[in-house]
Amino acid sequence: MNAIRYSKGFKMQCVREVEAGRSCAYAVQRKYKIKGSATVMRWGAPVGSGRYGKIIRVERAHEVNEAGQLRSELRRVKEALADTHMELALEQAFLAVACEELDQSLGGL
């Protein structure tokens, strides 16, 4: 099996065609008979301008700050849970002191 090596100039030409919007990566691959289904796309990272292959997140208006809102809500819930645990511990301590003063055992209550 023969390995095919492509020059950097050829790779740049292919990637520029894709980045310019003249062709998609698959069309360039077919045009130049390049083997491998993702070869041209893989070349985009080292020789491209960086425009091709970027991830663009499209959000609706109500989703713009959804992650921030969820983090804030999670923080509030954690704080409420911590407050509840503190209140429960205080009530248990108060109950223990009250039972001790009344000479009652906690097992009977």
Q: Which of 78, 74, 96 is nearest to 86 (CA)?
A: 78
Q: What is the pLDDT of residues 36-54, one digit of tens each?
A: 778 888 887 665 555 655 5
Reported pTM: 0.42
Label residue 53 exposed, middle or buried (CB < 10 Å: 0-12, 13-18, 19+). Answer: middle
Question: CA–CA separation, 95 vs 61, rounded Å?
Answer: 51
- Please name the residues in contact with 52: beta carbons below 8 A apart, sequence gap of 6 or more: 15, 18, 19, 44
C-alpha distance from residue 28 to each of 6, 11, 61, 100 (Å): 14, 11, 37, 85
Please write the tens of the pLDDT for every residue from 17-29: 888 888 888 888 8
Region 86-105: mean pLDDT is 92
Task: Name the more confident of 40 and 83.
Answer: 83
Q: In this prediction, what percent of the chain has a pLDDT beyond 90?
A: 27
Report whether 107 contacts 99 (CB < 8 A). Answer: no
Question: Residue 74 to residues 68, 69, 84: CA-CA distances in angstroms?
Answer: 10, 9, 15
Please tell me what DSSP assigns to residue 107: G
